Amino acid sequence: MPVFPEEPEIHESLPGPGVPFPRESDAQALHTPASSGATATAPTTVAAVPVPGPRPAPPRAAPSRSDRPGPPRLIPKPGPAPRRPAEAVPQVEVQRVAAAPAQALDRADEAVDRLLDAGRDPGQILVLTLGEAHPWQQHELSFGEERYWAQLAEGGDVFYADAGLARPVSREVVVLVANGGPAARAAEAYTAALGRATALLVVCGEAGPAAAAGRPGRA
């Protein structure tokens, strides 16, 4: 048998550029991969993942009214200090008991009794004599000067002393006994007794302005 040489295998090739395909179906077949018998899987839809960005800042609270800047405060200029009302000087009541020098001591004892009956504290009564010392003063001095002045410091009873008392003593009620002495001394004693009394001055006899206007020079 005659031997024929093998014919070369002819491979299909795609037409070059500008060469049209024989059929439109052929072009689609070339670009469509051959199925191997497996079922075609529908394309999976991937959900879009949001890209993280900068976090929104928290809302800022509105500043309170006290924190808001306001108009500058005006500092008042210092002015003169207000004048304080003058302190009221306590008024001392003056009561007069008419009496001659010989009866002035008796009238003074009666005045002291009325004051005690009215509720006055004995330690707030001071009796001053212009002439002879009161009998109670003489009695207390009989126990000595120390004991006598101790009663004044204790302030527990009526105290009897001379009108020329040099010690600083003040009590609510002062009873001035004009039982002797010159008119000039009576005027000085009246002024001093008025300064010692804080509420009431009882003048038994002629002493002070009324005595000077009445019968000056009478002892």
The pLDDT tens digits of the residues spanning 138-155 come to: 999 999 999 999 999 999
Could you tell me which residues are beta bridge partners of residue 197?
Answer: 171
User: DSSP class of residue 98?
Assistant: -
pLDDT digit string, tens, across residues 100-134: 999 999 999 999 999 999 999 999 999 999 999 99
CA 155-157-163 angle, to 5 degrees, is 80
pLDDT digit string, tens, across residues 14-65: 555 555 555 555 545 445 454 444 444 555 555 555 555 555 655 565 555 5
Strand locations in the chain (E):
93-97, 125-129, 159-162, 171-177, 197-204
Going by C-beta distance under 8 Å and a sequence separation of 6 or more, which residues neighbour residue 30?
Answer: 14
Cα separation, 140 vs 159, whole angstroms: 10
Q: Measured between alpha carbons, how far is residue 15 from residues 22, 24, 25, 201 in Å?
A: 10, 13, 15, 152
Dihedral pair phi/psi, residue 217, rounded to 5°:
95, -10
Homologous superfamily of 93-209: P-loop containing nucleotide triphosphate hydrolases (3.40.50.300)
